[in-house]
Structure 1
Amino acid sequence: MIKIGAHMPISKGFDRVPGDTVKIGGNSFQIFPHNARSWRASIPSDDVSNKFKREMKRCKIDWENAFCHCGYLVNLASPKEDVWEKSVSLLKTEVEICNKLGIKYLNIHPGSHLGTGEAEGMDRIARGLNEVLNTTKRVVILLENVSQKGGNIGYKLEHLKKIYDLVDQKDRMAITYDTCHGFDSNYDITKKEGVEALLNEIEDLFGLEKLKMIHLNDSKYPLGAAKDRHERIGKGFIGEKGFAVFFSFKEIRNVPWILETPGGNEEHAEDIRKVFEIIEKYGIEVE
């Protein structure tokens, strides 16, 4: 079974997410644990978390297919001590929100070193992650690959590996692969040899079992453009044929796919249908 969904709004309550996911044709989802543009976050009440868990059960969504994404302000690579400290504090709260809701995975962008250099940035990220992981429980942090722009760390998978190696609790660390970010950074998944190279790199660096989520996004710009502009499925430079190549690998189909494409629930429903159209059109066998 293909595990697919989208980043879902929480404005009407966490408990609406599982049902809305099913309505758009999904069985997986990603949410923000709070207002993503704020440093403020609060732990949900027992009533809120219990309603959410009941809806998860009613909608028969596997907990392995439920993800949170950290807020936009978090930057563990920041050389600004106040920003770094607020990032660590907020990430701890986000982990506790995940724990209260029962969500196992929290996805983060590694961060931007703001011109101070990748090595220093990676050290700060690992120091922050150790602080978070050593004072919280259960939740697994997913490091996401990012576009090669500005001072971003993580546009190469080897960056994620260097951070991973510096973290104490490796059992609570895994990765997310974003197709647009990867395409921006010269990971060409439109060709069979490109996908094979990607999978081999993940296996060599982490083991494929550490790949827990794929952000499924087309790209508004060509390979290597480093623009970080997501596009609807099949409408960008990865395109239908490119995604058909990507989907043809069993290792890719085994991982939940989460759309972060432009638009809301209606557009995401259309993109989910498009994914299955591509699978059918190109004769991809789904177990």
Structure 2
Amino acid sequence: MEITIGAHVSISGGMDKAIERQEDIGGNCGQIFAGSPRTWSVSEYEKEEGEKFQEMRDEKGQNPYVIHSTYLVNLATPKDDLFEKSLNCLQSELDAAATLGVEYVVFHPGAHTGSGRDTGVKRIAEGIDELDIPENVTLLLENTAGKGTTLGRSMGELRDMIKHAETPDEKIGVCIDTCHAHAAGYDLVSEEGFQDFLQEIKEDIGLDKIKVLHLNDSKDERGSEKDNHMDIGYGEIGDEGFSNIVNAEEFEDLPIILETPSDKRAGYKENLEHILELRE
């Protein structure tokens, strides 16, 4: 069965350029930013632009697509001004996804910065409930490396965010990032550790809630809480860990997005080809 895999590509020069960049690396799905990832600005898209983007994706067989939210979003914050900025930004990204025909918007839940875990989790749920998630768009919570007061490191924390939200269940999902899971302490390399990881997903979230995989190797040791991505096979997860992931029947239908550094060792094309080599 064909694997659905692509990478995070730039929209510099226009949406058609993103399609071309994806095609150049051999991707058949993809991820983009809807604005600058380190600012609050989100681009506004016209209906015609969205229709053209969808047409080109269909023509090139690149589906689904994901919008990755800006890194500034923090729904766990106790600060009302940052909470409102985060909500407004996420709403703009959700609206952009609807215009562009993009199926998913993924965001990092945020950090409670001292208000406490339970308060932060409930704040995230409150934020989700204030969003108007468009039809045909699903909002995805991404697991985190867990550094400091960051929330979302465990499947249980993600479960609690979803559980406290009153938003219809089908409008919310989860994106699993391998580097983040490894940094948070999950063992993706040994067979036993990986099966434990799958079991925790099943028990705490349910496999049906996992919609997208971010595949990134990790520069640091397991449990480091450091979010330093590496090219596939060059880090601490290595071929053994990624072989477990891409051959798990529980994940076989999920779109895979690469966010590897694409440095001098291996570009996206090489990372993608390496993943295909590991697929049995």
TM-score by length of structure 1 reads 0.92
Equivalences for residues 115-134 of structure 1 within 5 A = 115-133=114-132
Give the deviation of 1:60 after TM superposition: 1.7
Amino acid at match of 1:43: E
| Whole-angstrom distance in 2 between the partners of 1:12 and 1:192 | 44
TM-score by length of structure 2 reads 0.94
**Is residue 273 from structure 1 mapped to residue 273 from structure 2 by the alignment?**
yes
**Is residue 142 from structure 1 mapped to residue 143 from structure 2 by the alignment?**
no
| Whole-angstrom distance in 2 between the partners of 1:43 and 1:36 | 15
The answer to whether the 8 A contact 2:98-2:134 is kept is: no
**Is residue 220 from structure 1 mapped to residue 223 from structure 2 by the alignment?**
no
| Whole-angstrom distance in 1 between the partners of 2:88 and 2:263 | 30
Alignment correspondent of 1:44: 45
Match of 2:156 among 146, 151, 158: 158
Give the deviation of 1:252 after TM superposition: 2.2
Alignment correspondent of 1:186: 185
RMSD, aligned α-carbons: 1.7
**Is residue 60 from structure 1 mapped to residue 61 from structure 2 by the alignment?**
yes
Give the deviation of 1:16 after TM superposition: 2.0
Amino acid at match of 1:236: G
Give the deviation of 1:257 after TM superposition: 1.1
| Whole-angstrom distance in 2 between the partners of 1:190 and 1:269 | 24
The answer to whether the 8 A contact 2:66-2:103 is kept is: yes
Amino acid at match of 2:94: V
Percent identity over paired residues? 36
Amino acid at match of 1:30: Q
| Whole-angstrom distance in 2 between the partners of 1:270 and 1:210 | 30
Q: Deviations over 1:147-195 (max 9, x none)?
A: 0201100001100000000111211011011100000111111011222
| Whole-angstrom distance in 1 between the partners of 2:29 and 2:61 | 10
The answer to whether the 8 A contact 2:246-2:275 is kept is: no
DSSP 3-state at the match of 1:15: helix
Alignment correspondent of 1:229: 228
Give the deviation of 1:73 after TM superposition: 1.1
Q: Deviations over 1:44-103 (max 9, x none)?
A: 0133222212211210223xx211111111111111110101111111111100000011
Distance change (3 Å), C-alpha of 1:199 and 1:153: same
Alignment correspondent of 1:96: 95
Following TM superposition, the consecutive aligned residue runs of length 4 or more in structure 1 with deviations greater than 6 angstroms are: none
The answer to whether the 8 A contact 1:5-1:272 is kept is: yes
Equivalences for residues 21-32 of structure 1 within 5 A = 21-32=22-33
Amino acid at match of 1:147: A
Unaligned residue ranges in structure 2 (runs of 5+) = none
Distance change (3 Å), C-alpha of 1:85 and 1:107: same
Q: Deviations over 1:76-131 (max 9, x none)?
A: 11111101011111111111000000112110111011122111111111111000
DSSP 3-state at the match of 1:274: helix
Alignment correspondent of 1:10: 11
| Whole-angstrom distance in 1 between the partners of 2:79 and 2:197 | 34
Give the deviation of 1:136 after TM superposition: 4.5
| Whole-angstrom distance in 2 between the partners of 1:247 and 1:172 | 26
